[in-house]
């Protein structure tokens, strides 16, 4: 009986705590020949009933790195080109990124919208995200700042590992 329980417990532990690998895709534009590498969404804050949540995606195109952010908001909001996203790392460093375009939140259901914004990020700042966990994120919108904390607790480590895998795939 003990020989059956131990493998079962190991399997349950692995399945519970294993990080889901991110999907990285490479696309080549047929017209221009430009290559774009991007990740699937990486959860930072678990969407709870669609009311709150935040996910990242990494994008590399035309020798420039970007971070796409999907966040849920409770009211119609906009993010303008030049609006800031501040990422506070666990070592106290704050990385400030600027939105590349103007975006309007999309209606999901009464009282819930999602806002997808793209931010340019330097190689140095991306490398910091591969080595230091994120403590908190602040997004500037037309409705005020949106602050997001990680949820679940393993999210900062998963985000850090996912950005590291993304950076490796681009180099």
Per-residue pLDDT tens over the stretch 22-39: 899 999 999 999 999 999
As a whole number, mean pLDDT of residues 117-133 equals 96
Q: Please report which confidence band the pLDDT of residue 46 belongs to, taking 50, 70 and 90 as the band edges.
A: confident
The CATH fold assigned to 22-170 is: Immunoglobulin-like (2.60.40)
Look up the pTM and report it: 0.83
Domain ranges, ordered by start, for the chain:
22-170
d(CA 77, CA 70) in angstroms, rounded, equals 13
Q: Secondary structure of the chain: what % helix, strand, coil (to 5)?
A: 25, 45, 30
pLDDT tens digits for 53-100?
A: 899 999 999 999 999 999 988 888 899 999 999 999 999 999 999 999
Phi-psi region of 21 (alpha: psi -120 to 50; beta: other; left: phi over 0): beta
Tokens 């490479």 correspond to 26
The average pLDDT across 97-107 equals 93
Q: List the one residue out of 139, 141, 148 whose CA is nearest residue 79.
A: 141
């Amino acid at each position: 009986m003990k020989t059956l329980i131990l493998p079962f417990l190991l399997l349950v532990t692995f399945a519970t705590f294993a990080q889901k690998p991110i999907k990285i895709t490479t696309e080549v534009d047929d017209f221009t020949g430009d290559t774009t590498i991007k990740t699937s969404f990486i959860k930072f804050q678990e969407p709870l009933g669609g009311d709150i949540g935040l996910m990242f995606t990494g994008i590399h195109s035309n020798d420039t790195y970007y971070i796409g952010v999907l966040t849920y908001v409770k009211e119609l909001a906009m993010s303008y080109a030049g609006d800031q996203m501040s990422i506070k790392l666990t070592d106290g460093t704050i990385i400030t990124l600027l939105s590349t375009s103007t975006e309007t939140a999309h209606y999901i259901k009464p009282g819930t919208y999602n806002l997808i914004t793209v931010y340019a990020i330097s190689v140095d700042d991306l490398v910091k995200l591969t080595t230091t966990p994120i403590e908190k994120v602040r997004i500037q919108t037309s409705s005020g700042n949106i602050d997001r904390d990680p949820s679940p607790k393993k999210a900062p480590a998963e985000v850090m590992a996912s950005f590291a895998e993304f950076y490796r795939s681009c180099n």
